[in-house]
Amino acid sequence: MTRSGFGQTRSMSTVFSKIVNREIPGTIVYEDEHVVAFKDIVPFAPVHIIIVTRQEIPGIASLPETGDHLHLLNAAKTIAEQQGLTNGYRLVINQGEDGGQTVDHLHIHLLGGRPMAWPPG
């Protein structure tokens, strides 16, 4: 927490940390010591889940040597199984402006429940 110029207390945490910490609502479908997963608020597929590190890593471009990101893929596999995505699915990580990243907190999109087109837009 920091003090803004207007004397208000303001949280520096990302919108995803606020979901992780139950400060704002989110439909959480999975969590463990390293990651939390919740439904995307604007789903692009029947299953669209955001898997986020508990640690506030801004993105792929600033990965620490070790940390919660090392557990993202295993969590994605587990969640895909839990969601019944036996016919396949897609994992997406957006990095930076050209990558279409809008939330600077490392996350994987898990998309499934329909065939995915290629190449992506």
| Gyration radius of the chain over CA positions | 15
> 3-state secondary structure string, the chain?
CEECCCCCEECCCCHHHHHHCCCCCCCEEEECCCEEEEECCCCCCCEEEEEEECCCCCCHHHCCCCCHHHHHHHHHHHHHHHCCCCCCEEEECCCHHHHCCCCCCCEEEEEECCCCCCCCC
Note whether 42 binds ligand AMP by CB under 6 A: yes
Q: Is 109 a catalytic residue?
A: no
Binding mask 59-98 for ligand AMP (x = CB under 6 A): -----------------------------------x----
Q: Which of 31, 40, 56, 90 binds ligand AMP (CB under 6 A)?
A: 40
Q: Which two tokens stand for residue 115?
A: 């065939």
> Biggest alpha carbon distance in the chain?
53
Residue whose CB is less far from ligand AMP, 15 or 29: 15
Q: How many residues bind ligand AMP (CB under 6 A)?
A: 12
Residue whose CB is less far from ligand AMP, 83 or 101: 101
Name the segment binding ligand AMP (CB under 6 A); options: 28-36, 38-46, 67-75, 80-88: 38-46
Q: Which residues are catalytic?
A: 107
Residues in contact with ligand AMP by CB under 6 A are 15, 26, 38, 40-42, 50, 94, 100-103
